[in-house]
Amino acid sequence: MSQIHNLMQQVRRCARSFCAILFCTDGFPAYPKSIIKAFRYKVKETPGPGASKKVVWPRLYIGTVIKRTAKRRVTEVVRRMSYGQWRKGKKLIKVSKGGKKLNTSFIERFNGTIRERLAPLTRKCRYAASKMTTVHTGIYLVGCVYNFCSPHYELSKSEKKGGRGFSCTPAMASGLTDHIWSVRELLTYKVAPPPLPLSKKRGRPRTKPLQNASLPNSPVVRLRKGALCASTT
């Protein structure tokens, strides 16, 4: 449950604020709950003390696809909206060009690609990873090669069939690049390092304000004992 919640928080950070977004999940009941919990924002209705009201995004839609099987064959497919209106969900499907019905085939196909290209995720294999870092790094490598270096079959179809009409990768379709990358270009691409963390201030807080360095220091005038100006007598 915590892993699903962390995943939805990451999806929210990648999504544009208050945009229309459609999720398509399987029959696992934890998905809609985690999505609704992640895509909420606080609204303070009354001034003063008290907790803020949590409101779900106004253009959030969740579709659910349940496949019933018998003898390893799909006998029935149930499609329904777990959150939001079905009419608006259809419009988002049409805009995304991801088919005409609610389906989970795209993510299932991508899941199969990841399992095929990364040995530790293959079922009943002898290449189990001893560290989580190995799986984490391998998934990033396979995902980057998939998005930047591998032309997608559906995206490369002709425009009449819903494609782009040329060899196209998911990164090109998203507007991240304008050409197909090679694996060497991907591995040698220089990424800017993350900013250094701010150093913690130590000691007691300053009580006196700092002097402005741009202002000139006032000269110090010292008089000898018994010597006064004529204007003071």
Per DSSP bridges, beta strands 60-70 and 21-25 are parallel
Q: How far apart are CA 121 and CA 136, in angstroms?
A: 11
Per-residue pLDDT tens for 54-91? Answer: 888 888 999 999 988 888 888 888 899 999 888 888 88
Per-residue pLDDT tens for 114-146? Answer: 888 888 888 777 777 888 888 889 988 999 999
* pLDDT (mean) for 101-120: 85
Q: How far apart are CA 156 and CA 166, in angstroms?
A: 5
**pTM for this predicted structure:** 0.66
Per-residue pLDDT tens for 4-40? Answer: 888 888 888 888 887 889 999 988 888 889 999 999 9
- Beta-carbon contacts of 20 under 8 Å, excluding residues fewer than 6 positions away, are 59, 61, 88, 92
* pLDDT (mean) for 172-180: 90
First CA to last CA distance, the chain: 87
Q: How far apart are CA 71 and CA 164, in angstroms?
A: 39
Structure tokens at 155: 């995206």
Residue 233's pLDDT band (cuts 50, 70, 90): very low
Angle at 130 (CA atoms; ends 124, 136), nearest 5 degrees: 90
Q: Is the dihedral of CA 69, 71, 72, 73 positive or negative?
A: negative
